[in-house]
Every structure is written in C-alpha cells, then in structure tokens.
Amino acid sequence: MALSDRPAERHRQVAGLFGDRVRGTASWDAPSPVAGWAARDVVRHLTDWFPGFLAAGAGIDLPRGPSVDEDPVAAWQVHCDGVQAVLDDPETPRRELTNPHIGTLPLDTAIDRFYTADVFMHTWDLARATGQDDRLDPGFCAELLAGMAEAEEAMRSSGQYGARVQVPGDADVQTRLLGFIGRDPHWPGT
C-alpha cells in the first residue's frame, strides 16, 4: 500500500507501522543499528525531541505519557495520539511553525517533513533491532532520498546523520536511503 501524500493520513500510516513494531518488541534492551542505542532509545528519541520542536515553533504542547523507561509502549501511544490529534485538527493547515534553521512553514508540512519522515526512517531501526519486518514503503523512500540529496551538505553538517555508508549502485531504494542516512543496510540485528 502506497503512503498518502496528505500529512495527517501519512502520519497515521507511518506512525501506525512504527506502533506495530513498538507493540511487537520483546526486548527493549536489544541493540539497534544506531550506535549506542537500544530499541528503547529509538522510541525515546521520537518522543523526546519532537515535543520541544513543536512547542518552540508552534506553541503546541503535546500530552506526555509515562516515561519510555517505565512503559515504552504507552509512552509511544500517548505521544503518537497527541501528534495525530494536532494533524487532525481542522485549524492545523492554517497554522505555521517557525524555526531558526528551517524558517516558517505550514504546521502540517513541517510535521510531515521533519517528524513523520523521522518516524519512517526509525521504523527500520526498531524493526531491525527487534527482528521484525523492516521493509519500508519504496515510494516514500525514493521521495525522502531525493529531497535529502538536495540538502546533503546541510544535513551532514548538522551532526544528526552519520557518514554515508556505501551501497552498490544497483541497490534498491530502501538500501540506498539507509546508506545515505548512515545506516549499514546489512546490520545484523538480533
């Protein structure tokens, strides 16, 4: 199934898949493909960075659930439901988010571009860490890869992406995306 190009629906699809991987995790201490992170840290990253980004840029405070250390499944669900509520709000397409690094964007576009895309890519990390299905939507992989390639220098200098991992020129688009963001597509997992 192809992902929607509408921010609210795409988030519902992407966060739903990530939520399936969260609920399917048996060991939260399993190492992840992100150096120094366990499976729990993948969820922690998503639930920790975005509330501050949203509050600072749009004045929106997301509800907070239990800590990821206490209950990663509930922490994710409360967070995910809060983001979805923002995207489902009929006022959201008329609101803006302002950030010194990205300027001012429509709120739903900013969530889609920076947060939903992050959830999408980290779905692979959690799936690979926990031995679950790690296939990603190839159309969205291609869209993200094309967009990020245009901003590669800025991305690399931000420190948020590792060095590119070389992959064969004829690799599928998911493998190329993973290599681009600094993941070893052949990371062994569990």
Each of the 190 residues of the chain gets a pLDDT tens digit; together they read 689 999 999 999 999 999 999 999 999 999 999 999 999 999 999 999 999 999 999 999 999 999 999 999 999 999 999 999 999 999 999 999 999 988 999 999 999 999 999 999 999 999 999 999 999 999 999 999 999 888 877 777 777 777 889 999 899 999 999 999 999 999 984 4
Domain ranges of the chain: 7-180
- pLDDT at position 1 is 66
- pLDDT at position 74 is 98
Domain 7-180 bears CATH identifier 1.10.3470: no
Q: Quote the CA–CA distance of 179 and 177 in Å, as a whole number.
A: 5
Q: Quote the CA–CA distance of 162 and 38 in Å, as a whole number.
A: 17
- Six-digit token string for 6: 């509408």
- CB of 4 closer than 8 Å to CB of 16: no
- Six-digit token string for 142: 């291609």
Q: Quote the CA–CA distance of 6 and 13 in Å, as a whole number.
A: 11
Query: CA of 16: how far to CAs of 95, 107, 162, 164, in Å?
Result: 24, 21, 26, 28
- CB of 79 closer than 8 Å to CB of 94: no
